Amino acid sequence: MSTLKALLFDVDGTLADTERDGHRVAFNRAFAEAGLDWEWSEELYGKLLAVTGGKERIRYYLDSFNTGFAPPAELDSFIAGLHQAKTRHYVEMLSSGAIPLRPGVKRLISEAREAGMRLAVATTTTPENVSALLENAMAPDAMDWFEVIAAGDVVPAKKPAPDIYTYAMQRMRLGPKECIAFEDSHNGIRASLDAGLKTIIAVNGYTRDDDFSDAEIVLDHWGEPEYPFSVLSGDAGGASYLDLALVKRLHGG
Ligand code: XBP
Ligand code: MG
């Protein structure tokens, strides 16, 4: 009898490839709207992703890539205002259906749900972004599929700190051995491993070269029966897409 009771999902890069054509574009639209000549290129954004959290990322950009900008006296509220505008633009993009789920995401989550697995989200992103993605790309009632949506500023420290995963498990009254995490980035797996969680990785364009030591498996995506995944490291036991049986085998509980 498997001890696996819950699947904990990262959002950005895991459920959907949201960063390059989603968040990055939304940031740039907010900067333009504010009359700022800041333009985050795909290359620069890849560097800025070292810092999780949009507000924290803007501050990192000013501290490390735009030191010539004369910050206003109330820098925190200035950044908060930019980030609120960015979130508005991002939610508009999601509402227009601009960002689809990654391969296998709806299939695996539906299978897990039908099998009675408990589901949660553990993400650094803003809560509104989660509901907009799930309701527009997964199903109108998809928010109800997840017992806990642990997102954004609900914890003091964002990934790579383990806080968001620990918070989700505490809310579910589960221990790490009863759960498994799904991530896409080095910051993400540092958070999940430090929370004691076995972790399944699906890389994306920004994270392909990240360090995923100690992941149970590293895939290019979760796959579909007619669209097999590639195993970048680990053992899929001959499977060609990620299903609940493979998740349970990787969990090993
Ligand atoms: C990814 C992040 C987020 C997004 C931007 O979160 O680090 O900050 O890049 O979203 P995860 P916000 O991979 O944990 O889902 O601007 O709302 O932070
Ligand atoms: Mg992620």
Measured CA to CA in angstroms, residue 91 lies from 22, 100, 127, 131, 151 at distances of 9, 13, 11, 9, 15
Enzyme catalytic residues: 10, 12
Q: Which CATH number fits domain 19-95: 1.10.260.40, 1.10.3720.10, 1.10.150.240, 1.10.1040.10?
A: 1.10.150.240
The per-residue pLDDT of the chain, averaged, comes to: 97
Backbone angles phi, psi at 101, to 5 degrees: -70, 155
Could you tell me the strand order of the sheet in which 148-151 lies? 148-151, 118-123, 6-9, 179-183, 198-202, 217-219, 231-234
In the reported structure, the alpha carbon of residue 152 is separated from the centroid of ligand 1 by a whole-number distance in angstroms of 8
Asked if residues 145 and 165 have their Cβ atoms less than 8 Å apart, the reply is no
In the reported structure, the alpha carbon of residue 13 is separated from the centroid of ligand 2 by a whole-number distance in angstroms of 5
Nearest ligand atom owner, CA of 102: 2
Nearest ligand 1 atom to the CA of 86 is 16
At 94 the pLDDT is: 97
Q: Which CATH class is domain 6-18+101-251?
A: alpha beta
Asked if residues 236 and 49 have their Cβ atoms less than 8 Å apart, the reply is no
d(CA 158, CA 122): 10
d(CA 64, CA 118): 41
| pLDDT, tens digit (0-9, with 9 covering 90-100), for 4-30 | 999 999 999 999 999 999 999 999 999
Residues with CB under 6 A from ligand 1: 10-13, 19, 23, 52-54, 123-126, 129, 159, 188
Asked if residues 127 and 87 have their Cβ atoms less than 8 Å apart, the reply is no
In what helix (H) or strand (E) does residue 181 lie, and over which residues does it extend?
strand 179-183
Same fold for the pair 6-18+101-251 and 19-95: no
Q: Which of 12, 31, 48, 126 to mutate to test the pocket of ligand 1 (most atoms within 8 A of CB)?
A: 12
Nearest ligand 1 atom to the CA of 185 is 13
Question: pLDDT-derived band of residue 127, with 50, 70 and 90 as boundaries?
Answer: very high
At 253 the pLDDT is: 77
Q: Would the pLDDT of 91 be above 70?
A: yes
Where in the chain are the domains? 6-18+101-251, 19-95
Nearest ligand 1 atom to the CA of 57 is 8
Residues 6+ apart with CB under 8 A from 39: 28, 31
Q: Whose CA is nearest to atom 13 of ligand 1?
A: 12
